[in-house]
Structure 1
Amino acid sequence: MEWIKLIGIVIIVLGFVFKFDTIATVIFAGLVTALVSGISLVEFLEILGREFINQRVMSIFFITLPLIGLSETYGLKNQAIHLIKKMRNLTVGRFFSVYLIIRDISGFFSIRLGGHPQFVRPLIQPMGEAAAVTKAGKPLAQEDRDDIKAMAAANENFGNFFAQNTFVGAGGVLLIGGTLEQLGYDGNFAKIASASIPIALVTILVVSIYNHLFDRKLDKKYKGRSE
């Protein structure tokens, strides 16, 4: 009956399928797995507490919050917006590629630009749409406007996901390093962050090609249709 110890995996899958609270699902799955494996409730709580203490290094990111707050207070975000607005003659694809690069650089320094609701939706997406309208010379079809919204969100996600671990103090880097050290391996945070840089660079290349193909799609559709 050793297979019963895998019940935790089933619980996690069901929790995700039925959209239960993620943390509660994982803890419940761990508790059930511990009980069917002969580990008492007290022992389970001891293990949970010990692992939480062992991974306390992840809380280091709180130290960066005052620095980020001061930077934004003194106009870092406003200067970034001003820089983007100064870039002329950009197509929507090129604009999104530039934003992707800026997003990756901000991830390298652990600077949050604001995310989807605060930055992408009210600023990046409208600027991308304006670039497309200028290039087309006429209003865009609704389906193309929807595609631009999706492209703006996708570039934000690509930049955030693939560049977040390039910062040595990122939560993912600290978690990986702490886990490796527990297992007896080299958990050098700088090496882990350095290994993430090539992935971020490849992402810039691949997504920039994708953005360029989107430009060509719009050019083909609106070429010769300008009023």
Structure 2
Amino acid sequence: MLSLIGVVVIVVGLALRLNALLVVLVAGFCSGLVAGMTPTEILEALGHAFTQNRAVSLFIITLPVIGLLERNGLRDQAERLVQKFRAASAGRITLSYLVLRKLTNAFGLQLGGHPAMIRPLIAPMSVGAAERDLSSAAIASPRFHSLSQRIRVLNAVSENFGNFFSQLIFVASGGLLLIKSVLDKSDASVSLADMALYAIPTALISLLVMFVMCRRLDRNIRREQRLLREEYPDLSYEGGVKESADSGSDTHSISVRESQS
């Protein structure tokens, strides 16, 4: 039972919302001490595991780059760009990204991800499309905040659908090779091409499901936009119309006076 002390430490530490890295390190030390390892041997094992799997942490390099781009207005520029295209909607943007994600995965290109594409580009563009023709008060309202969160959720779902349900189409993908090795150990001879072929229907079904979800999202956005325009009218626009109308009436009165003189 003492050999499971590391699992208990992880469960308790995460339940108390402590620092995840510190919890894992403490759990590793507890498991190593129970197994009879010295602190030096535990540190050596941790260092060896890190160096063997250091490629997994390469995504950390992209985080400061994305942070710098966002700090310099990447998200704002994405919103302004999409608002210039009247036909662009949150659902169409999300579906287009899903199609791109599936095509790149089919050729083994890992172009995408939540930190690299969804947060800095796809989500701001989708929310920017929903903000079109809305007043600043409507955009700052709790109703639109809730709508923007639903849009971001569907953006994240599109990334998961695009990656998970299409990565096995590529014959040299890591998941497909893992399945191949397991089947070979079980004396089940299946070629990589056949397994990739069987992954295509799953990718198409996930695309169809996301198409329906994007259509529903666009309908919900149009309904919410109508309610927001009624609840938060664009007063600046109305003021401009009223001002122009007043100026027109003033011009008309001046012309009448001149004609009478």
TM-score, normalisation: structure 1: 0.56
- Report the CA distance between 1:51 and its aligned residue: 1.9
Structure-1 residue corresponding to 2:43: 45
- Report the CA distance between 1:12 and its aligned residue: 1.2
Rounded to whole Å, the distance in 2 between the matches of 1:49 and 1:175 is 26
Structure-1 residue corresponding to 2:214: 211
Structure number with the bigger relative contact order (C-alpha 8 A, sep ≥ 6) is 1
Deviation string, structure 1 residues 76-133 (Cα, Å, up to 9, x no partner): x89x9598567543444334333444566677443565553x43565431223328x6
Say which of 16, 19, 22 aligns to 1:21.
19
What amino acid maps onto 2:28 in structure 1? Answer: G
1:1-20 to 2 correspondences below 5 Å = 3-20=1-18
Structure-1 residue corresponding to 2:130: 128
Rounded to whole Å, the distance in 1 between the matches of 2:84 and 2:201 is 29
Deviation string, structure 1 residues 175-220 (Cα, Å, up to 9, x no partner): 9989x99xx98xxxx99xx799877665443333222223344556
- Report the CA distance between 1:35 and its aligned residue: 1.2
What amino acid maps onto 1:209 in structure 2? Answer: V
Contact kept, 8 Å, 2:93 with 2:125, in 1: the verdict is no
Identity of aligned residues (%): 22
Contact kept, 8 Å, 2:127 with 2:148, in 1: the verdict is yes
Distance 1:200 1:37, change over 3 A: farther
Contact kept, 8 Å, 2:89 with 2:129, in 1: the verdict is no
Q: Does 1:148 align with 2:147?
A: yes
1:83-122 to 2 correspondences below 5 Å = 88-102=86-100, 108-111=109-112, 113-116=116-119, 118-119=120-121, 122=124
Distance 1:175 1:161, change over 3 A: same
Structure 1: 5+ residue stretches without partners: 134-138
TM-score, normalisation: structure 2: 0.51
What amino acid maps onto 2:151 in structure 1? Answer: A
Structure 2: 5+ residue stretches without partners: 186-191, 234-261
- Report the CA distance between 1:29 and its aligned residue: 0.7
Contact kept, 8 Å, 1:101 with 1:159, in 2: the verdict is no
Rounded to whole Å, the distance in 2 between the matches of 1:150 and 1:54 is 38
Greater radius of gyration (CA): 2
Secondary structure (helix, strand or coil) at the match of 1:110 reads coil
Rounded to whole Å, the distance in 2 between the matches of 1:157 and 1:196 is 22
Rounded to whole Å, the distance in 2 between the matches of 1:174 and 1:20 is 33
Contact kept, 8 Å, 2:95 with 2:211, in 1: the verdict is yes
- Give the superposed CA RMSD: 5.0
Secondary structure (helix, strand or coil) at the match of 1:93 reads helix
Q: Which range moved further: 159-168 or 38-47?
A: 159-168
Structure-2 residue corresponding to 1:136: none
